Amino acid sequence: MNRFHKKHILDMASLSVDEIELILNTATALKEISERPIKKVPTLRGKSIVHFFHEPSTRTRTSFEIAAKRMSADTFSISASTSSMTKGETLLDTVTNLQAMNPDIIVMRHSVSGAPHFVAKHLNASVINAGDGMHAHPTQCLLDLMTAKEAVGKIKGLKLSIIGDIFHSRVARSNIVGFVKMGATVTVAGPCTMIPPGIDSLGAQVTHSLEEAISGADIIMTLRIQKERQNNFFFPSEREYASLFGLSYDRLKAMNKNAFIMHPGPINRGVELSSDVADCPESLILKQVANGVAIRMALIYLLMGGTRDAHSN
């Protein structure tokens, strides 16, 4: 399959295996652009992309900006503080106004789960979900798939363990769905308070033992522990979390000699991950960042190629 027929990238559940493979292959082909002295191709000249970030984000937003610029698209930014939403405008009002500007793609991050799906229903433009609430973060999953494939060789049969606050993590939800769909085995680990009920129905195996999660894994992904989760009693203290589920290099090596390390960032050094793990040779964290740009270039490229088909249908 060469054509991409999706109009939106909302979550991993709505992408097929073939579509995911096409995105990964396209990203691999486009990655080379970022390594050229002149890191720009004219492919999407004249296309306009709005970056609508209702929740603060530096990394994801920058990654999308760079991806768009390397493809020569025009970009516009709206953040929660600059949009009229702070003045009481509803999401629907904002979206209707955006529609009037006739953008081709809206890249959207929102603190409310399902907000991008809502916007997609009311817009003619394509919507890329750059993270919604605790629900989904499909571009993160795609860049993780790409990074994992580069490191291990293939996704099928790969063992991924995700450790930490699964409950609040859109990255965990998307990665469980995406990796399982592509034939990997996904194990999640954390204190029971951080493992939401029914997560196994997404295809994940659940353990509360760090040792069990780490020992057999090819790739270990740790998640950021947010101190404010103490407020709703999800965990007692960073000290306890670090001692029970925090990964130091010695601890990692005692349980697993060969596993690679991933983290969606930003890292809480000394809590879920010690510095010697973040910066160790097995760490793929900077590769994840580089692949993030390639995946986002691939997505806007494919969505723009797919728009014509969407119109003809």
Partner 1 sequence: MRIRIENGTVVDPSQNLDAKRTIYIDGKKIKDVLEPEDISNPPFSADETDYVYNAEGQIICPGFLDMHVHFRDPGQEYKETIETGCKAAAHGGFTDVCCMPNTVPVNDQPEITKYMIEKARALGGTRVHPVATISPGSNGKALTEMGLLLQAGACAFSDDGYPVTDAQLMRRAMEYARSFDALIISHCEEMRLASGVMNEGIISTRMGLAGIPNAAESIMVMRDIALCELTGARLHIAHVSTAQSVEAIRRAKEKGLPVTAETAPHYFTLTDSAVLEYDTNAKMNPPLRSEKDREAIRKGLADGVIDAIATDHAPHAELEKKVPFDLAANGIIGLETSVSLSMSLVHDGILTFSQFVEKMSLNPSKILKITPKMVASGQAADITIIDPSKAYSVSSKSFQSKSRNTPFDGWSCRGKVMRTIADGKIIY
Among 36, 121, 122, 239, binds partner 1 (CB under 8 A): 239
**Binders in 8-47 for partner 1, by CB under 8 A:** none
CB 9 within 8 A of CB 125: no
Consecutive H or E run containing 74: strand 74-79
Compute the least distance from the CB of residue 44 to partner 1, in Å.
48
Instruction: List the catalytic residue out of 47, 61, 70, 137.
Output: 137
Interatomic CA distance for residues 191 and 193, integer angstroms: 5
| Candidate segments 69-77, 176-184, 220-228, 229-237, binder of partner 1 by CB under 8 A | 229-237
Binding test (CB under 8 A) with partner 1, winner from 29, 244, 254, 286: 244
Task: Check residue 270 for interaction with partner 1 (CB under 8 A).
Answer: no
Q: Catalytic pick from 47, 54, 70, 109?
A: 109
The contacts of residue 67 (CB under 8 Å, 6+ apart) are 293, 294, 296, 297, 299, 300
Contact between 243 and partner 1 by CB under 8 A: the answer reads yes
Work out how close the CB of 174 gets to partner 1 at its nearest, in angstroms, rounded to a whole number. 24
- The yes or no reply on residue 81 touching partner 1 (CB under 8 A) is no
As a whole number of angstroms, the distance between CA 207 and CA 248 comes to 19
Q: For residues 188-217, which are near partner 1 according to CB under 8 A?
A: 191-193, 208
Q: Give the nearer residue to partner 1 in terms of CB position, either 128 or 194.
A: 194
Rounded Cα gap, residues 288 and 238, in angstroms: 26
Q: Give the Cβ contact number of residue 303 at 10 Å.
A: 24
Active site residue 45: no
Which range touches partner 1 (CB under 8 A), out of 134-142, 187-195, 247-255, 302-310? 187-195
Using DSSP's 3-state secondary structure scheme, residue 205 falls into: strand
Out of 230, 251, 290, 310, the residue judged to bind partner 1 by CB under 8 A: 230
> CB-hemisphere CA count at 13 Å for 190?
28
Amino acid of residue 164? G
| Residues classed as catalytic | 59-60, 87, 109, 137
